[in-house]
Structure 1
Amino acid sequence: MGALSSIVNASTPSLYISLLSIAFNPIAWNIVARNEYRKKTITRALGSPYHGCYFLAILIFTFGLVRDHLYQCALLDQPRVPLLPKPFATLVPILIFVAGQVFVLTSTYALGITGTFLGDYFGILMDDRVEGFPFNVLRDPMYVGSTLCFAATALWYERPAGLLITLYVYIIYLIALRYEGPFTDMIYSNRSKVEKRE
């Protein structure tokens, strides 16, 4: 336990606020999106599924920025421990961050705004499954890319606690995918059944 306390300051509120914000985002968006699929609450309020999806995209993006800020604040309250020798202490985090951003940005480009931000729950379905880069490399490049950015930030600030938080992020994403994947598959399966009947 003593070794853990030398790399994790468990007494700082910023740590728990960061952990809560990390869990909040995928939980909240899954709840909101499923409600939208079943009850069309946002669509009815804004008058269009596209307006609803863009509104949700702005919320998701904004809360993602808040989450990232809270993560950075949590890191700054944690013990600093050199993790990599020079010049790798600078080079490795930069390379990991760039790789993460490449996965996030290229998957967003490939899916578009509605494909990225849960448009299928609004009834805005893609014609075909995206199979080009980065989806030909990873099944869930956006989540992997985001996780890489968390790890890169921890390495940049030399905070081992950040690597533990990164593991927590990855676990949260795996749990979210267990709910998102099958539900999205069901939405597209239902469309196929409707198309076959027509």
Structure 2
Amino acid sequence: MSLDFATLLDLSKSSLLLSLFAITFNPTAWNIVARNEYRNKTITKLFGGNTRYGCYFLAVLIFSFGLLRDALFHNALSEQPRIALIPYEYASKIAIVLGGLGQLFVISSTWQLGVTGTFLGDYFGILMDKRVEGFPFNVLNDPMYVGSTLSFIATSLWLERPAGLFVSVYVYVVYLIALRFEGPFTTMIYTKRAEQRKKNAAKST
């Protein structure tokens, strides 16, 4: 059987485009919302100035939209060509390993950071006392994004949908772009706190 791009990926399906939109929307939207929160405290004001309630509200939104994104991804794959690029007995085993590893990275990251650390609490002024250095942050800089990407790949292999592998690459590219905005901004927040602490220490001496 001859395989070409058109055979592996059906771009005519609107479900695929909708899935790609959701994948793009989520990190983009949360970066915009978080930056606005840092500057204007919009969500915090909705909760009477309670930063934790505001962060928890955003966490629920992010988690809910993540579930929607995953559902749209599964729906998109159901309409894509099913082609076994490698024997299923191997593909399924690889999928189990990658899926398990991906979930390990995501769950352990959340455990280490807590709810506020995971869901952009630093933009609300809820900062970590120190940098998290335990697993999985001692092996990866961005384990949550890597874990999420591995889960997309695992699902694609399990369902034997080559289109899902293309989408998985797109997922990782979107995450890399998001990190170029998210990383420096987060660093700026902690740098400002360190500078403020130095000023406070100087005033107290």
The residue number in structure 2 matching 1:8 is 9
Closer, same or farther: CA 9–97 of 1 in aligned 2, 3 Å: same
2: distance between equivalents of 1:113 and 1:84?
39
Give 5+ residue unaligned stretches, structure 2.
Answer: 201-205
Instruction: Show the 5 A alignment for 1:37-116.
Output: 37-47=38-48, 48-116=50-118
2: distance between equivalents of 1:151 and 1:139?
20
TM-score, normalised by the number of residues in structure 2: 0.95
**Greater CA radius of gyration, 1 or 2?**
2
TM-score, normalised by the number of residues in structure 1: 0.98
Aligned residues with identical type, % of pairs = 61
Tell me how far 1:83 sits from its aligned partner.
2.4
The residue number in structure 1 matching 2:31 is 30
- Which amino acid in 2 is paired with 1:57? A
Tell me how far 1:85 sits from its aligned partner.
1.6
1:142 to 141, 144, 163: 144
Give 5+ residue unaligned stretches, structure 1.
Answer: none
The residue number in structure 2 matching 1:171 is 173
Q: CA RMSD in A?
A: 0.8
C-alpha distance after superposition, 1:141-186 (max 9, x if no partner): 0000000000001001101110000000000000000000000000
C-alpha distance after superposition, 1:91-132 (max 9, x if no partner): 110110000000000000000000000000000000000000
C-alpha distance after superposition, 1:44-76 (max 9, x if no partner): 111210000000000000000000000000001
Question: What is the number of equivalent residue pairs in this alignment?
Answer: 197
2: distance between equivalents of 1:119 and 1:54?
9
2:128 to 119, 126, 129: 126
